[in-house]
Amino acid sequence: MFYKLKGVLEEAYPPNKIILTSGPISWEIFIPLNLLSLLKENFLGKEIEVYVVAYIKKNEILELYGFLEREERELFLRLNALSKVGPTLALNILSVFTPETLRKVIEERKITDLSKVPGIGYKRAEKLFIELKSLFGKLTKKGLTLPLDKERILSEARECLLTLGFQKREIEEALFKVFSEEDSLEELIKKALNELSPFLKEEKL
């Protein structure tokens, strides 16, 4: 599983791509729009670290999405798991909001602010607000703040369940219900699988 890449920033070009060279390999990485100027003006030719998420599209092309902060990576994973969001819209949201400002938007019910994200109109913002409220409220009970090891456990459990063939929405709903900060990775997966067992029976039918 990709988690973080360290390399030299070779290029940064509009609207939201960078080329990061690590050893003999150069990676093309999609980033939030608001990072492009920062990286281009301050880090070209320098070594940087980027938290990454790998996403395989339907045409089997591997795409990488990169962030400077771990919290942004974790929020991207959660947004991407929501219904009808996907990586492009998740990246657009992170181009407008930080994890903290998005949490405040949800807490203060600023749906108009949410509708300003490219690709989200007001009606869609209303529907997305409901999912985001659940995302911020149920899973951590404290916004997006979790210890690093617990964030990794959540991320690894999610990806493991994806490889077993479950849908993203099913996985997120199961994790919302069973997640506890005391769980190990194995315990969390076991509890999630128990929650997801009805979906296995449906597929067999």
Digit-coded pLDDT (tens) for 144-169:
445 556 667 877 888 888 888 888 77
Find all residues with CB under 8 Å of 99, minimum gap 6, and list them.
Answer: 69, 71, 72, 74, 75, 143, 144
- What CATH number should be reported for the domain whose range is 4-67? 2.40.50.140
Same fold, 4-67 and 70-138: no
103 vs 143: CA distance, rounded Å = 7
- The domain segmentation of the chain, as residue ranges, is 4-67, 70-138, 148-204
Residue in 98, 61, 57 with CA at minimum distance from that of residue 76: 98
Answering whether pTM is above 0.75, one says no
| CATH superfamily label, 70-138 | 5' to 3' exonuclease, C-terminal subdomain (1.10.150.20)
CB 102 within 8 Å of CB 90: no
Average of per-residue pLDDT across 76-94: 87
Model confidence pLDDT, tens digit, residues 111-122: 999 998 988 988
First to last CA, the chain: 32
